[in-house]
Structure 1
Amino acid sequence: MSQPFSAATGTTYTLCVFTENTVGLLNKITILFSRRRINIESLTVSETERKGVSRFTIVIQHEIREEVEKLVRQIRKVIEVLAVFGYLNEEVVYNEIAMFKISTLSGAKPLDIEVINKIYKAWVVYWGLDYVVIEKTGSLPEIHDFFNYIKPYGILEFVRSGRVAVSKSSKSLDDYLPEAEWEYYL
């Protein structure tokens, strides 16, 4: 199994795009990246605290900051986009989630749950008859380190989420989108 981690170079940018929740918007946004030949390293979309407002968290690596700034300006022109922010890693708090399905068949190398929990801060979230599922949250290097640790045990499946991130700024979504009366989730 090859290692499922990016080998891209350049500066890492996290783009946070707040949008109306409409059909086809994902395509409108991702095509802007394709046209500029910028690869999306990870993409996470979810609802925000405001009903009807979605948040796209898009991670890219690119060498030329001016091209990223042009991309952000282009995204802002999409009608359904309410706000767009570009951040460097030090400007956001972020994490990812990874899940590992590991064989526990007889004859397999026994797992050291204490090392998994205490050293790697990972947790068994499902224990089946012949496999376990372990969840690891953290930065990409932390997940990569755990991947290398757990690989000799026999990874049956591996999946990693996109980045979830919030700005280190004290501002909230209300500071950027105050003009309308929004319905909030309770």
Structure 2
Amino acid sequence: MSQEKQLYTVTVYTENNIGLLNRISAIFQRRHINIESINSSVSEIKNISKWTITATLSEEQIKKIIGQIDKQVEVIKAYYHTDEDTIYQESCLFKIKSDLLFNDRQIQNIIKESNARIVTVNKEFFVLEKSGRKSEIELLHRELSAFGILQFTRSGRIAVTKEPMEITKMLEAFQL
């Protein structure tokens, strides 16, 4: 088993219960592993939540963490994946002064070249939305920083696996 650290995407299918987030983050915390991003949403299965967590660690560590997460009563199943196993994106919003949009050709070019989308414009500010890989978002952030960013927020990773997930079959059997 590899001791080399790499970024893993953890997918957790769970019932939506109070306190579970604290218990799962404690599993990482006890091993001194930083959660880089976390996203929670509804899943393809009715009444089941899907959490997507990213962290950099070794394969040995991720296997132990998955084992601990799976032991939580509300957790239906936890999986881990490498970047090669998933299709993933992040999303972000930038709030910038409006006069830059109207008076600076360079910022218009940055928006166009980055495939960012203008969400709203008013007299004081405009808001840009960008979805893509973390590196694309970081590049756009660096480029826009030169102009001054009023506010910035980025989502955690969202991901689907390239291979079919056995969770759907497992839950269909469970619901019968």
Question: Does TM, normalized by the shorter one, top 0.5?
Answer: yes
Report the counterpart of residue 5 of structure 1 in structure 2: none
Residues 74-128 of structure 1 show CA distances to partners (whole Å, capped at 9, x for unaligned) of: 111111100111000111000000111111247x9625435413x1110110102
Q: 2:173 aligns with which of 157, 172, 179?
A: 179
Higher helix share: 2
Cα distance in 2, alignment partners of residues 126 and 75 from structure 1: 40
Task: Give the corresponding residue for 1:99.
Answer: 93
- Whether 1:42 and 2:37 are equivalent positions in the alignment is yes
Once the two structures are superposed, the pairs formed by residues 11-160 of structure 1 within 5 Å of their partners are 11-62=6-57, 64-105=58-99, 110=104, 112-117=107-112, 119-160=113-154
Contact 1:18 1:55 survives alignment (8 Å): yes
Higher deviation after alignment, 167-176 or 50-59: 167-176
Residue identity opposite 2:108 in structure 1: I
Q: Which amino acid in 1 is paired with 2:14?
A: T
CA distance in 2, matches of 1:120, 1:100: 13
Alpha-carbon separation, structure 2, partners of 1:129 and 1:176: 53
Check the 8 A contact 2:12/2:79 in 1, yes or no.
yes
Q: Return the offset for 1:68.
A: 1.2
Shift of 1:25: 1.1
Partners of 2:144 and 2:103 lie apart in 1 by 10
User: TM-score normalized by structure 1?
Assistant: 0.85
Amino acid at match of 1:25: L
Taking only aligned residues, the RMSD between alpha carbons, in angstroms, comes to 2.1
Q: d(CA) in 2 for partners of 1:60 and 1:171?
A: 21
- Cα distance in 2 for residues equivalent to 1:176 and 1:19: 13
* SS of structure 2 residue aligned to 1:177: helix
Using the size of structure 2 for normalisation, the TM-score is 0.89
Alpha-carbon distance in 2 for matches of 1:129, 1:173? 49
